[in-house]
Structure 1
Amino acid sequence: GWQTQNPSSSMRKAQFGIKGKDGKSAEVVFFHFGPEGGGGVAANVKRWLSQFKEPADQLKARTVNETVNGTKVTYVTAEGTFMKGPPFGGNKVPVPNSGLLGAIIEGKQGSVFIKATGPKTIVQSAEKDMKALIAKALEK
C-alpha cells in the first residue's frame, strides 16, 4: 500500500511511498499550484519525460487522455533511466529500470499533478490504485 510521508519540499502538497517486495520503494508526489499555475499539460509531460536519461522516443512513453466524471485527466507512463535529484539543477543520479506514472487532473481550481517514480515494477503496479483514487476524488 501507499505510506504517507512528510513532503520533502514546500512545492509538494502530499507525498507517499510504495514499498516493493524487494524492499525498494517508489515515490508518489502531489502538486497543486492554484489556478493558472504549474504550466499546461503538454509542458509538464515534456518536462517529466526529460527527467529520464534516454530521449523521449526511447522511453516506451504513453499518454492517455480520459474524462472522469466530467474532468479531463491525462495519464503518462514511461520507463528508462530516471535521473533522480533536485528538479532545477543540482547533481542527478541515474537510476536504471525506473518507471514514471503521472496524472494531470484539470480541475476548476487549477490542475493537480500526481507523479510516481521509482522501480518500474512498483510504479506499474500502482496504476490501478492511482486511477481508483482519482475516480473516487472526482465523484460527483
Structure 2
Amino acid sequence: MAPLIRWLTAALLLVCATQAVGDSIEIRDFDTPVMKERYRDLTGSMRCPLCENQAINDSDAPISGDMRDRVYMLLQDGQSDTEIINHMVDRFGEYILYNPRLENRTYLLWGIPLALLLAGALLVVLIVRARRSASSASLSAEERARLDALINRKRSP
C-alpha cells in the first residue's frame, strides 16, 4: 500500500510541475522575424510596474503578461513602435520606460549628467593649465642661488 501511495504522490507532483512549466511559456506567432525582433525589443524596453526594475519580457507578474499581450496585439494591428510605446505610456504611465522622454519634467534628469561632464572637463582643463604655468615659471636669481647652495652642500662631504 505504501509504495502505491508514493507512486501516486510522485505522479501527482510530476503533473503539477509540468502544468506550472507549461503555464509560464508563452508562444507567439509572428509573420516575420523582423516583427519578432520588434516584439522582443519593445518588451525589453518596458519595465514591469509591479516588479519595479524588471523588464516585462522577464517578469512573471500577471500585469507583465497583460502588457506583453497588449504589445503583441498592437504589433499584429500594424502599429509602429512609437505608437505602441505611446499607448503603453498612456495606459501604465511614464514609469514603464527605462529611458524617460526629454520633456519639461525631465530636463533636470537629463541635464545633471551633462552638467557634471562639462564641469569635470572644465576642472581638468584648469588643472592642466595651472600645472603648465607652474612648471614653466623660471626661478628668480635669489631662488637660483639658494638652490645652487643646497645642491653644493649635498655634494661636499
TM-score for both structures, normalised by structure 1: 0.22
TM-score for both structures, normalised by structure 2: 0.20
Q: Which has the higher contact order (CA 8 A, sep 6+)?
A: 1
Greater fraction strand: 1
Whichever of the two has the greater Rg, that structure is 2
Greater fraction helix: 2
